[in-house]
Amino acid sequence: MRLLTCLILAVLLGCQSEKFTQGPEQEILAVITGNSLPVDGCEESVRIDSVNNGATSTVRYKPTASSLPILQGALNSVPADQRYAAEIPVLIRFYKTGRQVELECGWGSRPKVDEIEILKITQR
């Protein structure tokens, strides 16, 4: 009976869903890019550029699987034959999940980037 109880407890503890910390909601100007893996680019992502003291810095984010369709829907405004090179300026509302994930890019590159949950994308 003890063995059965321990086994059930182990299974229940092992089946907990992965939890992440939700960061504050942000709304910011950004650029979204389509899946350009076929031309040695990266998969769908969000790029935010900022300028501090004349120096530009770029940060890429990967959307969660559940919010990827929002990004893909915004990309559908670009003709299919231009999506590999498309960079669409948008206003994006999102929050960081607190997780670092791999962004798949060409030539086997997989940089670690912050994951975001996209809430809304508006073209500018």
CATH value at residue 47: 2.40.50
**Is 5 inside a domain boundary?**
no
12 belongs to a structural domain: no
* Cβ–Cβ < 8 Å for 92, 28: yes
Higher pLDDT residue, 17 or 83? 83
Q: Is residue 72 part of a domain?
A: yes
Residue with tokens 């912050």: 114
Average pLDDT over every residue of 31-43: 88
Split into its structural domains, the chain has a count of 1
Domain span at residue 94? 21-123
| Residue 43 lies inside a defined structural domain of this protein | yes
pLDDT at 16 over 50: no
What pLDDT score was predicted for residue 22? 83
For 102, residues 6+ apart whose C-beta sits below 8 A from its C-beta are 62, 110, 111, 112, 113
Judged against a pLDDT cut of 80, whether residue 1 lies above it is answered with no
pLDDT score for 13: 47
In a domain, 59, yes or no: yes
